[in-house]
Chain A
Amino acid sequence: MKRRNFIYLAGVGAAAAMFPAIPVIGNEIPVERALEYIDPAVKKILSDVALNAARSKGATYTDVRVGRYLNQFVVTREDKVENITNTESYGIGIRVIANGCWGFAATDKMDKDSIAKAAELAVAIAKENGRLQSEPVKLAPQKGYGEVTWKAPIEKNSFEVPIKEKADMLLAVNDAAIKGGADYINSILFMVNEQKYFASSEGSYIDQDIHRIWPTFFITKIDKATGKFETRNALSAPMGKGYEYLNARAEDKIQTASGTLYKGRYDMLEDAKQAAVQVGEKIKAKSVEPGKYDLVLDPSHLWLTIHESCGHPTELDRVLGYEANFAGTSFLTLDKWESKKFNYGSKEVNITADKTETGSLGAVGYDDEGVKCGKWDVIKDGILVNYQAIRDQAHILGLEHSQGCCYADNWSNVQFQRMANISLQPGKQPLTIAEQIKNVEKGIYIIGDGSFSIDQQRYNFQFGGQLYYEIKAGKIVGMLKDVAYQANTQEFWNSCVAICDQSDYRLGGSFFDGKGQPMQVSAVSHGSATARFNKVNVINTARKI
């Protein structure tokens, strides 16, 4: 039902299939209201009402989230602004343990009586559900932090930038693309501010201010003679940053033989210009010969492969079966972890979970059950060594503390285990992109994310991209099209032979990772440097209808 409250930006005619469905929760508000911040002292008073009400009804644990979720999006196509929207969602979610079972209730009525009633309802639900519970919830210990704050280290709050400036910027991007030869362009600027307050019966009062931004575009070019068309999407990444993300400096750009790539910050106008040229090259590109190729994968592409084939299968709730009916389970079963020798990947492969990385989508000071966030190894020298867990799962892994992976996409939804930033660590030896390509005899260099699909236990996947360059004898010899690679997760990561060094490390990510029923979204980043995978199966995706 929550989904009925979403405003979907898919109503953009032809681009509907290309736009991801973008859910926005909340009510539209005047733009200036987004700059207001609710005094933490007020949120503490409201939280204490809930904590006291729940305790008096018999809760043995209570946490309270007072959340204000702000979204702004600007949507354009060619020379038209299609949509400008500001939304706000403000309310309180109360989670309790009573009779050894979880209960949850939420309300947007922010008076003390309504909050107390919601707390009482949460306790009543817990007691009711407790009758069906076979074993009580076991929470990892967590000390209270007292009154603390965390703010994303942004330079410029996106909500302070006038809407007109944003719309003009997108229209300039569109104009550049059309002048450069594109037939159509849809562009969008999406900004999020989560103002979250967490309080628990263990003595934490945590006030956090989180910002995210995602500029992106979709370009189409049609070859009138043949009726064929090609598309090229932006090479931007959604980031946990302010508006400074759109102010790219020289050091944010990586010049390669195939164009400019972006690190840390993004030049949307420049990318639109090069995209308009590249989409034309795509139309004329050679159709790939299927077979085995050494793949050189850019971080703007590899993030999604990491997300699907490592991020999801190491989520502990999937491993345990809690997502069996929706997102699926996992091939990384507990026995593989317990063996301490399951070779997920080659020795080059070190994958970490990190909830603290500056500028990433998942970075927060504390998660949505008040656990201070950190960083840990998931795959170490190719071996599966850990998962992603929350407080009521930590005991399954023999952990003393939660790993801080709890998140809810709104005050009105109950928090549950969500993916941390899961990133492939760069190689320890100096290695540039040019050197990486130079070492390949027969390969394909892939930039940007495209079509993606993986099975429900995360064994078999198929990925496409935005740009494909053929590598012959260490040189890029031209563009390819109709490329997709299919692999088995374990075989693929064991074929990883070289990863560029730290200087090439970049973040990609998703605003809308979906999980749970009713579904909740979560934003998460995945870092990597350009990596090489040997002898991967490439198919040709061209068909005639």
Chain B
Amino acid sequence: MAILSKEEAQAILKKVVGFSKADFCEVSLRGSDGGNIRYARNAVSTAGQISTMSLGVSSTYGKKTGSATINEFDDASLEKVVRRAEELAMLAPENPEFMPLLGPQTFAESKTFNANTAAMTPDTRAEMVGKSLSVSKAAGLDAAGFLENSTSFNAVMNSKGLFAYNKGTNVSFSVTVRNKQGTGSGYVEQDFNDLAKMDTLALSKIAAGKANGSAGAKAIEPGKYTVILEPLAASDILGNMFRGFDARSADEGRSFMSKKGGGTRLGEQLFSENVNIYSDPLNPEIPSSTWSGDGLPIKRTQWVEKGVVKNLAYSRYWAAQKGVEPLPFSRGVIIEGGNQSLQDLIKSTEKGILVTRFWYIRSVDPQTLLLTGLTRDGTFYIENGEIKFPIKNFRFNESPVIMLNNVEALGKPVRTGSGLIPPMKIRDFTFTSLSDAI
């Protein structure tokens, strides 16, 4: 029940919009269906399965908007939720930022749905976790992990005739493998739309290899080092920066994208020339929805070209204020890279540090986007093109903006975290203290 087809969703939404008496009405319908297994100390700790569907209505009189949601779908309930939203709208204060509704739009067909993933059962999950546990048990290591899959749909309709629908699947897996002495730890995480790409056995072997390989870490002095960031580490630290590509906060003067004296840094060379960043909802490796929450089509967008900021996201309201076209954010950021593998990057490094992932990243200064956080689950010293020995974890204080000005090399992008991200070789990365954590 939770996953409706385009036609089924459209039929419900039409009915709801038909109940509206307000000047404007927007309705959204979403559902998801999926399950998970959590395990720790080499045994399953919890397992769950959940199915949800809910409908939200926003009704507007003039510039006064009220919203209500419901999870019952008989006609009486659907009419009730519309009336409720209308009552709330009458009581609401005017929203000076209310934008007239969009009319019908054209959207490309998304690639987010995969039938194999949608067909996953508790047995599939158990089998996938079993493969992961077989690795840790055979190696005499301890695994703690989480496997989750979901199928979901989203649909919106408004009283001006806009209708959009998207259906997607996702399967995600992460595992931390530690040795029995607690002196070594490894980690992997991965998510895909397509189940066939997920290999929990191979991924768990990588984590187990890092658990063994990181044992007996030596302490080296904190300071500035050339680092090789695995794609996960790069994604961890850059996720914060992507959220800053917002025109309004930049115009308001409270973002790293703000220009001294007013305005934004759109058009400025903010990063190294080898940095190119774009998003494309139709990229087969990292597909995403082809429409935004407010019903705008999402298209391929170049955010950074040769280090120059080419676009910032504009909400419909802010775009109208600034007299430009609105540009929605997109999920699935792609950083272009080359063909070099992680191994190639290591080989070309005289002295450096290999980082598996970062942890507990928090903003220290929004003006410079300075972040702090720590390395975790496999940090290694590189000398003369080889991994020499594991090293103790570091705390870093670094800005991703500074980091993307110090790019030595970018490898082949892979799907990780929030996008398609290459392994990166970065010079002068700032580690400020040592951690005893393993």
Contact = CB atoms under 8 A, between A and B. Distances in A.
Interface of chain B, helix or strand or loop or mixed?
strand
A127 to B, nearest CB: 12
A227 B260 contact: yes
Contacts of B435: 455, 459-460
Nearest to B360: A453
Nearest to A459: B436
B40 A324 contact: yes
A545 B368 contact: yes
Interface stretch (B225-233, B296-304, B380-388, B393-401): B393-401
A284 B412 CA distance: 45
B432 interface: yes
Contacts of B97: 80
A28 B41 CA distance: 40
Contact of B365 (A27, A80, A321, A543): A543
B369 A545 contact: yes
Nearest to A290: B432
Nearest to B401: A545
Interface string B51-71: 010100000000000011111
Interface string B181-199: 0100001000000000000
Nearest to A108: B71
Contacts of A5: 52, 54
A451 B362 contact: yes
Nearest to B55: A27
Interface stretch (B111-119, B330-338, B370-378, B414-422): B370-378
Contacts of B47: 125, 129
Given A325-B175, A451-B363, A545-B368, A539 B36 contact: no
Contacts of A454: 360
Given A27-B69, A484-B364, A545-B399, A13 B253 contact: no
A132 B129 CA distance: 12
Interface string B312-326: 000100100000000
Given A17-B366, A81-B93, A457-B438, A30 B246 contact: no
Contact of A517 (B146, B182, B259, B437): B146
Interface string B22-33: 000000001010
Contact of A129 (B44, B187, B359, B402): B44
A176 interface: no
A169 interface: no
Contacts of B54: 5, 27
Interface in A1-44: 1-2, 4-5, 13-14, 16-18, 27-28, 30
B106 interface: no
A62 B69 CA distance: 33
Given A81-B93, A132-B44, A453-B373, A464 B364 contact: yes
A70 B318 CA distance: 34
A240 B249 CA distance: 34
B46 A325 contact: no
Given A321-B144, A412-B50, A541-B364, A28 B254 contact: no
B437 A459 contact: yes
A457 to B, nearest CB: 4
A331 B436 CA distance: 9
A133 interface: yes
Interface in B246-287: 246, 248-249, 252-256, 258-262, 270
Nearest to A13: B248
Contact of B142 (A321, A323, A464, A545): A321
Contacts of B372: 451, 453, 462, 484
A360 interface: no
Contacts of B365: 482, 541-543
A183 interface: yes
Nearest to A223: B253
A457 B436 contact: yes
Given A17-B363, A484-B364, A227 B258 contact: yes
Nearest to A76: B93
Interface in A508-545: 516-518, 537, 539, 541-545
Nearest to B93: A81
Q: Size range of the interface on A?
A: 35 or more
Contacts of A4: 30, 32, 52, 150, 152
Interface in A222-240: 222, 224-229, 231
A545 B256 contact: yes
A50 B142 CA distance: 36
B108 interface: no
Contacts of B368: 542-545
B185 to A, nearest CB: 8
Interface string A439-473: 00000000000011111111110101000000000
A227 B248 CA distance: 15
B376 A455 contact: yes
Interface in A71-123: 80-82, 84-85, 102, 104, 108
A464 B271 CA distance: 28
B178 A324 contact: yes
A60 interface: no
Nearest to A462: B372
A36 to B, nearest CB: 16
A1 B50 contact: yes
B433 A486 contact: yes
B395 A460 contact: yes
A133 B253 CA distance: 57
Given A27-B54, A227-B259, A452 B67 contact: no
B374 A455 contact: yes
B176 interface: yes
A150 interface: no
A167 interface: yes
A414 interface: yes
Given A1-B148, A539-B397, 17 more contacts: A4-B52, A4-B152, A183-B254, A222-B254, A227-B253, A229-B366, A321-B41, A322-B144, A329-B182, A453-B361, A454-B360, A455-B359, A457-B438, A460-B434, A464-B364, A518-B36, A537-B433
29 contacts: A2-B50, A14-B246, A16-B243, A28-B84, A30-B87, A80-B93, A108-B71, A184-B252, A184-B254, A222-B254, A224-B262, A226-B260, A229-B258, A322-B45, A324-B40, A325-B145, A331-B437, A453-B360, A453-B362, A459-B435, A460-B433, A460-B436, A462-B397, A462-B433, A486-B432, A517-B36, A517-B38, A518-B48, A537-B433
3 nearest A-B residue pairs (beta carbon): A227-B260, A14-B249, A460-B435
